[in-house]
Chains A and B, each alone.
Chain A
Amino acid sequence: MKTLRKKIVIDPMTRIEGHLKIEATVDNKVVVDARSGATLYRGFEQILVGRNPLDAVQITQRFCGVCPIPHAIASAQALENAFGIMPPDNGRIIRNIMQAANYVQSHILHFYHLASLDYFRGPDVPPFVPRYEADYRVPPSVHDDLVNHYILAYQMRLKAHELCAIWSGKMPHAASIVPGGVTIIPRLDNITTSLWRVKELTDFIDKVYLNDVLTIAEIYRDYFQIGTGCKNFLAYGLFDLDNEPDVTKRKRFFPMGRMTNGKVDPIDPSKITEDVKSSWYDSPSHLRPGNGETVPNPTKRGAYSWLKSPRYDNGVYEVGPLARMAMVYETKSNPKVVQLVNETLKKLQVDPESLYSVMGRHLARAIECKVVADEIANMVMQVKLEEPVCTGHTIPDSAQGIGLWCAARGALGHWVDIKNGVIAKYQAVVPTTWNASPKDDKGQPGPIEQAMIGTVVEDTENPFALARIVRSFDPCIACAVHILEPGKEVKEFRFV
């Protein structure tokens, strides 16, 4: 039977962090194939080679201006692992505060300023126009509230940045995170000036953000069935609660683990590998990040992304708030998350399975934002005035280190190899490399690709459903495209 096949290209994919191109092949209005490709390469790991290991914390933060804190922490933890040291309690706690504030900032920014314009029109002035003119279902009264909240959310994310900067010196790009802990000597006014900001943020999340996400979810209920994805989830955990040197044994507020078919298992970092069949590289495929190699070839046949394809034990895994909340819900490790998820499901009259969707990701992000924000006041009160903030270090001649952490967008790993007292090799596998990864050696599509395949696209000129799916993952391409090394001279560059 002859069918109408059509290719949709969305390039650039805006309202995400960084440069992403989306392609979808549509057959009789249904997406039968999808490609997610990164269109910028910066070469950060190459830049890190030969430098003083301490510099990695400042340099890797510059992967991303939206989420510099998790890079600083993962980098510092990789170096601490290599140096054989752990931060004192204050170093651990103050990093948790900065990370929590950065989560709140990132989640609010994502929902209102990156994603929400997929669901309501906004005013008719740039940058709100032009836009896809289709499928805006929000009634006028709700629309005006959402526009006002869009503006209010700017002030709130500003407040979250202030909360972080009280401890980090400035944001973006924290000054105070160093291997061994932090540099800031905590004073009473750091604590008092944090607490009111926390209160204003939790009020906003409780009274505005959560309600707005629920409102959108009620209006766009069909998006509980759209963008399901691979349904395998991976998280490295968040907020250190003790000083255990082995990261896989360390107690964390949100746990480390992976989930398949509702079963949660521990993680063995040695089972993480990266495929390059669909990536512009000639280097061997399926290497562990610690031994990763990168020989670019921008004319490689069949390749379509600067991203590699990270896989765990050959499996495709989604990372991010949905991954973390799904695992916490399944293991009941945080009663507040379980209660919030149950209340949400009841209110919206949907089953837990529906959370594996576009709307599920927005809800998981909002619930996580609330639980994290509610915890910050406790963290602030744990800071110990007059006690040390940093453990001393000696840079070893030769050592390897690993830092596993969770950025707002998902599992983040940094691997460092030190030789002759300088960085010999540095690799980072970041959340969006997992989520936006291209097809692997076995032809398995990445999580965003899987979430797009099967989607019905009524109007190929206005493929808003695809944009909504992609944005629900909160892609951060600047983080993800640092991974490469410089290319040989290339005469021609074309998409194949």
Chain B
Amino acid sequence: MAWNNTISRRDFMRWAAAAPAALATVDEFLPKLAAALQEAIKEYPIIWLQASTCSGCSVSVINTIHPSIKNVILEQVLPGHQLILSYHGTLMAATGSLSVDAARATAAKFKGKYVLVVEGAIPTKQNGVYGSVGEEHERPITMLHWVDSFGRDAMAVLTVGTCAAYGGLPAAEPNPTGCQGVSDVFKTLNIATPVINIPGCPPHPDWFIGTVAKILLYGMPKPNELDEDGRLKLFYARSIHNRCINRDYLDDGIFATKFGEEGCLLELGCKGPFTYADCPIRLWNSNVSWCIGAGAPCIGCTERGFPDAHSPIYQRR
């Protein structure tokens, strides 16, 4: 199996061409230091499973700036800490059975030590018949089966996005495929692996990287660091509304009544008061803007029950 003998830190450092001069020098003239540097890097195998998803969470996470996506995938997510992305359906080179074999090999080799990232909800109706990845003995392998087998032996599960955390859009009424978030699936399957939720439709890249960094540097979150929906309070403790840029309009009683008008957006259905995330201060896409910055009401995408709990989207709740 190719996987076993291909992770060569030495080869990789030689390849890391963005800083070719520096690395080549260390490698060539100070071989002991280079070896020490390589020894010091801790590696964390990751299996990233895409279930009932639009892939928007992956697209959002690759928008990370510091660390860059190059740091995250190819180098070190934090100095001294390297993620080994052994399976990611959209990014990996391998295809077909070669790809799922890589995921299986990782799970077997690093039992209890790998992190499972789940993106998308899990179709559970009719034993998961509505979503499969790969096949075995000419029968499709359901996403439900993958979450069961990889989830059971993982060190931890990170749910990326509201679908994986709580069911999200595919679980909206009438939930045609019986979609559920990972925690609910684990309850049914009696799996005790810890789950940390990183909701959002999609989640901000900083929320994902920040959660990963928290675990690598300080270990698994303590119960008081998570809210009742399994999210890190670090990112999800305060409401959109309380830190909104339109608070002055609210104070002055200026409300937008039509799209494209200045004013507080509550009358256009803004769910800021019921939504907990740090968008107003973090901003999106290299800090260029955010939903309310573009005159659009918050739709409550980080919350359990999205979208039904906030429907109709443009009516005051």
Tell me, yes or no, whether B38 is within 8 Å of chain A by CB: no
With A13-B95, A495-B135 as contacts: A127 and B88 at CB distance below 8 Å: yes
**Least Cβ distance of A436 to chain B in Å?**
15
B249 at the interface (CB under 8 A from A): no
Which of A14, A44, A168, A478 has a CB less than 8 Å from the CB of B99? A14
Which of these, A54, A59, A169, contacts B307 with CB under 8 Å?
A59
* Among candidates B17, B60, B131, residue contacting A40 with C-beta atoms closer than 8 Å: B131
The residue from B58, B63, B126, B202 contacting A173, defined by CB atoms under 8 A apart? B202
Judge whether B93 and A169 touch: CB under 8 Å: no
A165–B17 touching, CB < 8 Å: no
Whether B90 contacts A17 by the Cβ 8 Å rule is yes
Q: B174 to A46, Cβ gap below 8 A?
A: yes
Enumerate chain B residues within 8 angstroms of A181, measured Cβ to Cβ: 259-260
Knowing A166-B288, A170-B284, A495-B140, the reply to whether A17 touches B55 (Cβ < 8 A) is yes
Identify the closest chain B residue to A45 (Cβ): B176
A166 touches B52 (CB 8 A): no
- Is there a chain A Cβ closer than 8 Å to B210's Cβ? no
Interface size on A, residues (CB 8 A): 93
A245 interfacial by beta-carbon distance below 8 Å: no
- Residue of A with least CB distance to B168: A62
Point out which of B68, B93, B140 has the most chain A C-beta atoms below 10 A from its C-beta: B93
B217 close to chain A: CB less than 8 A: no
Instruction: Tell me the minimal C-beta distance from A175 to chain B in angstroms.
Output: 4
Interchain CA distance A124-B16 in the complex, whole Å:
11
The yes or no answer to A29 lying at the interface (CB within 8 A) is no
The A-contacting residues of B in range 203-225, CB under 8 angstroms, are none
The distance from the CB of B292 to the nearest CB of chain A, in whole angstroms, is 8
Q: C-beta contact mask, A10-43 vs B, less than 8 Å → 1, else 0?
A: 1111111111010000000000000000011111
Confirm or deny: A413 has a beta carbon within 8 angstroms of a beta carbon on chain B. Answer: no
Knowing A14-B95, A173-B202 are in contact, say whether A127-B85 is a contact too (CB < 8 A). Answer: yes
- Asked if B140 contacts A493 (CB within 8 A), the reply is yes
Closest-by-CB residue of B relative to A463 is B96
Once bound together, how far apart are the Cα atoms of A41 and B140, in whole Å?
14
- Interchain CB contact under 8 A, A123 and B56: no
Between A63, A157, A388, A493, the greatest number of chain B beta carbons within 10 A of the residue's beta carbon is seen for A493
Residue from the set B12, B307, B315 with the largest chain A CB neighbour count within 10 Å: B307
CB pair B313–A52 under 8 Å, yes or no, is yes
Residue of chain B at shortest CB distance from A42: B170
Cβ A65 vs Cβ B258 within 8 A: no
A-side contacts of B69, CB under 8 Å: 154, 158
B190 at the interface (CB under 8 A from A): no
B260: which A residues are within 8 A, CB to CB?
181-185, 388-390
Chain B residues lying within 8 Å of A43, measured Cβ to Cβ, are 130, 170, 176-177
Q: Which residues of A contact B295 (CB under 8 A)?
A: 169, 176, 182-185, 389
Which of B56, B57, B259, B299: most chain A CB closer than 10 A? B259
Query: Known interface pairs A17-B90, A165-B285. Does A489 touch B126 (Cβ–Cβ under 8 Å)?
Result: yes
* C-alpha gap A68/B57 in the complex (Å): 12
- Interface readout for B21-58 with A: 1 if CB under 8 Å, 0 if not? 00000000000000000000000000000101111111
Q: Is the CB of A130 within 8 A of B3?
A: yes
How far, in angstroms, from A486 to B8 measured CA to CA in the complex?
Answer: 47
Residues in A with CB closer than 8 Å to B102 are 126, 130
**Which residues of chain B come closer than 8 Å to A123, judged between CB atoms?**
11-12, 15, 74
Residue of B whose beta carbon sits closest to that of A124:
B6
Does B98 reach chain A (CB closer than 8 Å)? yes
CA distance A478 to B32 in the complex (A): 49
Q: How far is the CA of A47 from the CA of B293 in the complex (A)?
A: 29
Identify A172's interface contact among B59, B86, B143, CB under 8 A: B59
In the complex, how many angstroms separate the beta carbon of A470 from the nearest chain B beta carbon?
9
B8 to chain A, nearest CB (A): 6
Partner of A114, one of B65, B90, B286, B315: B90
Q: Which residues of B contact A54 (CB under 8 A)?
A: 312-314
Q: How far is the CB of B135 from chain A (nearest CB, A)?
A: 5
A467–B94 Cα gap in the complex (Å)? 10
Q: Which of A143-151, A200-208, A332-340, A399-407 contacts B (4 or more CB under 8 A)?
A: A143-151
Bound-state CA distance A22–B98 (Å) is: 14
Partner of A162, one of B129, B169, B288: B288
A13 touches B96 (CB 8 A): yes
- Contacting residues of chain A (111-129) with chain B, CB-CB under 8 angstroms: 113-114, 117, 122-129
Task: For residue B63, give the distance in angstroms from its CB to the closest CB of chain A.
Answer: 6
Chain A residue at smallest Cβ distance from B73: A127
Q: A360 at the A/B interface (Cβ < 8 Å)?
A: no
- Indicate if A249 sits at the interface (CB-CB under 8 A): no
Q: Are B140 and A180 in contact (CB under 8 A)?
A: no
User: Bound state CA distance, A144 and B9, in angstroms?
Assistant: 18
Contact with B along A297-331 (1 / 0, CB 8 A): 01000000000000000000000000000000000
Q: Are B169 and A62 in contact (CB under 8 A)?
A: yes
Chain A residues with Cβ below 8 Å from B313 are 52, 54-55, 58
Pair A63/B54 contact, Cβ less than 8 Å: yes
Contacting B at CB under 8 A, from A148-201, are: 148, 151, 154-155, 157-158, 161-162, 164-173, 175-176, 178, 180-185, 193
B117 in the interface, Cβ–Cβ < 8 Å? no
A475, B222: Cα distance in complex, Å: 42
Q: Quick one: given A41-B130, A130-B3, are A478 and B54 in contact (CB under 8 Å)?
A: yes
Assembly CA distance A490 to B130 (angstroms): 11
State whether B314 touches A165 (Cβ < 8 A).
no
Q: Please name the residue on chain A nearest to B296 by beta carbon.
A: A175
Report yes or no: A167 in contact with B294, Cβ–Cβ below 8 A.
Answer: yes
B242 within 8 A of A: no
Per-residue A-contact encoding for B116-150, CB less than 8 Å = 1, 0 else: 00000001011001111111001110010000000
Contact across chains for B293 and A169 when beta carbons are under 8 A apart: yes
Contact of B284 among A12, A64, A169 (CB under 8 A): A169
Whether A52 contacts B315 by the Cβ 8 Å rule is yes
The answer to whether the Cβ of B201 comes within 8 Å of any Cβ in the partner chain is yes
Shortest Cβ distance from residue A141 to the other chain B in the assembled complex, whole angstroms: 12
- Out of A19, A125, A167, A176, name the residue touching B132 (CB < 8 Å): A19
Closest to A13 in B: B95
Interface check B280, CB cutoff 8 A: no
Q: Output the nearest chain B residue to A169 by Cβ-Cβ distance.
A: B294
- Which residues of B, 171-199, contact A by the 8 Å Cβ criterion? 172-174, 176-177, 179
Q: Does A66 have its Cβ within 8 Å of any Cβ on chain B? A: yes
Q: List 9 A-B contacts (CB under 8 A).
A: A42-B177, A65-B59, A125-B84, A130-B98, A151-B18, A154-B70, A158-B285, A166-B288, A175-B291
Which B residues lie at the A interface, using CB under 8 A?
1-3, 6-8, 11-12, 15, 17-18, 50, 52-60, 62-63, 65, 68-70, 73-74, 84-102, 123, 125-126, 129-135, 138-140, 143, 169-170, 172-174, 176-177, 179, 201-202, 258-260, 262, 284-286, 288-296, 299, 301, 307, 311-315
Q: Other CB < 8 Å A-B pairs besides A158-B63, A493-B126, A495-B135, 4 of them?
A: A12-B133, A15-B92, A41-B176, A54-B312
User: Sorted from nearest, which 5 A-B pairs have the closest CB atoms?
Assistant: A65-B56, A43-B176, A169-B294, A175-B296, A175-B291
